[in-house]
Amino acid sequence: MRVGRTVNNETGNNGTGSFSTIWLILVSCLGVSVVVAAMAALNTALPDIARSTGASTGQMTWIIDGYTLVLAALLLPAGAIGDRFGRKPVLLVGLAVFGIASLAAVWVDTPIQLIITRLVAGAGAALIMPATLSLISAGVPREKRPVAISIWAGVAGAGAILGFFVTGVLLNFFHWHSVFITFAASSLAILLVTLTISSSKDENPGSFDFVGSLTSMAAIAGIVFGLLEAAHRGWTDPLILVCLIGGVVLAVGFVVIELRRTSPLLDVRLFRNRAFAAGSLSVALQFLASFGVFYLLLLQLQLVFGYSALKSAVALFPMVIGVGAFAMIGNWVAVRYHSLRLVLTVGIAIAGVGVLAIGLVETDAYWKLGALLGVVAVGIGLATAPSTTAIMSNTPLENQGVGSAVNDTARELGAAIGIALAGSILAAGYAKRIDDTANLAHQQLSAIDPTTAQTASDAIRNSLVGAIEVADNLPPQAAPLAQQIVDGAHAAFLPPLQAACLVLGGVLVVGAAGLGWFAPREVMPAGPEGPDDDVPAELAEPARSAE
């Protein structure tokens, strides 16, 4: 790791003025909000998109997952590019790419063209996301940094629900194209206000690590692809096994490569810092919980409770309120009372208990579900900002872009794992329980039209969505059969949903126990110069921060 502070402010503004600090935080939060919102928004619009473009089930998956895959794979190189060339210029380029790709989606005719625009938008998002956090870490005065990171983390945590809500409102009044027009307009507006803020970069970056960049991209792409597709193809599918095993092998190779380089893409020795490593694990656990639960509960709200897309988004607002409020509290407690271990452990444990309760309690009314979501949100809120603070405070200032990329990569991997676990358990459990309902529909419809009977039976076996569509399309005289299909599909759907929540909650509880053992007490390592040393003290003296 290079020695000596090498942070440069291109505009001459050192960020100490209160207005410039607040403005920098606001612009950075706007940038990260549009990236996170775009990860979730199309889940709501997907049925309309599928009907309009004729997308198959596999193509619909990649309209969503292509963005996430490219974003995750490019985060580390994008963070390093920001450190090298300046975080503000990289943010501007990312906003431009994201905006153009979003606008291009308005004129596409085929699902493949739409997937390509999403891949390009993911590349733009990869440039945006690490730049926003690293601008805050490098540009906000040290005494205000915990508050700034708390605000950023709260916005990033709630951004997905913002995406659901905005999309729901737009679809109530406009065509699905309006979602992409909104993203394009938002990126243009954020680009214009970004021109007003200062920048920072590493003045002596060394040679760019092309080998490490390519290896990290391949490793993360393989792992994320395998996790996202496992829910659809199954964990024993040869392609899934090749991607997951190959991704892990490449990740190990990446570590070996980085240890041998004088100018590494990521100094993997940072993970010897227990605060940095614990923060990364905590971030992954938070997004495993939130995206896994979002995946399950949006299906329950829309297909069991019968909520519209907009009403479903509003129903998730307890997550927004809880995460936003407790992000500030968690960081204040962790920094003020030197209690990182306590805050991370308690926060993840509360979230785990909340997710377990969703799996144990029969949530047949929204008030029960909303209350348990509030519990999950309190836990995630307590842990979210201290986790990010621990990562960024223990990353050298000239490498803040890479530190931010580590934080964001942990988010993407956690989200992918959560969706993969939830989706796989739900799909397997539903398939195991739906046979009687599908056979009943086939038997009764065969007397009318054998071809229709087989198609309906296959749709019922495929998913709860298919079963609901079959029931809705039956003629009025078949109302009793339609009700039997709906009741049977719900009965096949809810037990595996609860089982998935139990698994996700169990992972969080085990993770909380691990953090209680592993995480240090201090957010930042003790050292003669404090947290802004270019070489974190714990790398030289790892044992000092154990307590």
Q: What is the mean pLDDT of residues 472-479?
A: 81
Q: Tell me the helices (H) and strands (E) count for the chain, helix number first.
A: 19, 2
Write out 372-386 in H/E/C secondary structure.
HHHHHHHHHHHHHHH
Tokens, residue 243? 């991607």
For residue 27, which amino acid is it? Answer: V
* Percentage with pLDDT > 90 across the chain: 23
Decide: 525 and 536 in contact? Cβ < 8 Å. yes
User: Confidence band (pLDDT; 50, 70, 90) for 514?
Assistant: very high
CA-nearest of 519, 545, 525 to 537 is 525
pLDDT (mean) for 106-128: 91
* 115-120 mean pLDDT: 93
Distance CA 28, CA 13 (A): 16
- What b/e readout covers 518-540, taking b as 16+ CB neighbours within 10 angstroms? ebbbbbbbebeeebebbbbbbbe
**pLDDT the model gives residue 344:** 92
Tell me the residue type at 354. Answer: G
**Confidence label for 123 from pLDDT (cuts 50, 70 and 90):** very high
For residue 32, count CB atoms less than 10 angstroms from its CB and return exposed for 0-12, middle for 13-18, buried for 19 or more: buried
Percent of the chain with pLDDT over 70: 90
Q: How distant, in Å, are the alpha carbons of 86, 139, 160, 206, 339 from that of 10?
A: 9, 11, 33, 19, 36
Which spans in 394-478 are helix H? 400-433, 435-446, 450-462, 464-473
For 161-174, the pLDDT digits (tens) are 778 788 888 888 88
Instruction: Report pLDDT digits (tens) over 301-354.
Output: 888 888 887 788 888 888 778 887 787 788 788 777 778 889 999 999 999 999
Between 14 and 200, the higher pLDDT residue:
200
> Phi then psi for 129, rounded to 5 degrees?
-65, -50
User: Are residues 538 and 7 in contact, defined by beta-carbon separation less than 8 angstroms?
Assistant: no
CB-CB neighbours of 137 under 10 Å: 27
Nearest to residue 372, comparing CAs of 390, 391, 356?
A: 356
Per-residue pLDDT, averaged over 193-198, amounts to 88
Burial group, residue 502, by CB count within 10 angstroms (0-12, 13-18, 19+): middle
Which pLDDT score is estimated for 17? 56
Q: What is the pLDDT of residue 92?
A: 95
Q: Right CATH number for 274-423+498-547 from 1.10.10.60, 3.20.20.70, 1.20.1250.20, 2.120.10.80?
A: 1.20.1250.20
Regarding predicted confidence, which is higher, 150 or 103? 103
Q: What is d(CA 394, CA 522) in angstroms, rounded to the nearest whole number?
A: 11
Cβ neighbours of 483 (radius 10 Å): 12
Cβ contact 463:57 at 8 Å: no
What pLDDT score was predicted for residue 422?
A: 85
Does residue 545 have a pLDDT over 90? no
Mean pLDDT computed over every residue of the chain:
82
Res. 58 pLDDT band, cuts 50 70 90: low
Euclidean distance between CA atoms 27 and 162, whole angstroms: 17
pLDDT of residue 219: 92
Quick one: pLDDT at residue 537? Answer: 43
Measured between alpha carbons, how far is 244 from 146 in angstroms, rounded to an integer? 36
Is the pLDDT at 500 greater than 50? The verdict is yes
**What pLDDT, on a 0 to 100 scale, did the predictor assign at position 253?**
93
More confident residue, 473 or 12: 473
3-state secondary structure of 306: coil
Q: Is 338 left (phi over 0), alpha (psi -120 to 50) or beta?
A: left
104 compared with 15, residue with greater pLDDT: 104
- What's the pLDDT score for residue 536? 43
Q: What is the pLDDT of residue 57?
A: 61
pLDDT band per the 50, 70, 90 thresholds, residue 15? very low
Identify residue 311 by its one-letter amino acid code.
Answer: K
CA distance 240 to 494: 27
- Predicted pLDDT at 202: 67
Hey, what CATH topology would domain 18-205 get? Growth Hormone; Chain: A; (1.20.1250)
Tokens 């992918």 belong to residue: 416
Q: Which amino acid is at 314?
A: V
Per mean pLDDT, which range of 330-344, 367-381, 395-409 is the poorest?
395-409
**Residues counted in the chain:** 547
Question: Degrees (nearest 5) of the Cα angle 13, 19, 24?
Answer: 65
Give residue 525's pLDDT. Answer: 58
Is residue 359 within 8 A of residue 501, CB to CB? The reply is yes
The whole-model pTM stands at 0.82
Read off the pLDDT band of 529 (50, 70, 90).
Answer: very low
- Mean pLDDT along residues 445-454: 76
Q: What confidence tens digit (pLDDT) does each residue in 215-267 have?
A: 999 999 998 888 878 877 878 889 999 999 999 999 999 999 988 888 888 88
- Residue 318 pLDDT: 83
Contact 76, 198 (CB under 8 A): no
* Residues 335 and 146: beta-carbon distance below 8 Å: yes
- pLDDT reported for residue 542: 41
State pLDDT tens for residues 421-436: 888 888 888 888 888 8
DSSP summary character for residue 202: E
| Weakest mean pLDDT among 123-132, 200-209, 271-280, 376-385 | 200-209
Query: Looking at residues 268-292, what average pLDDT do you find?
Result: 89
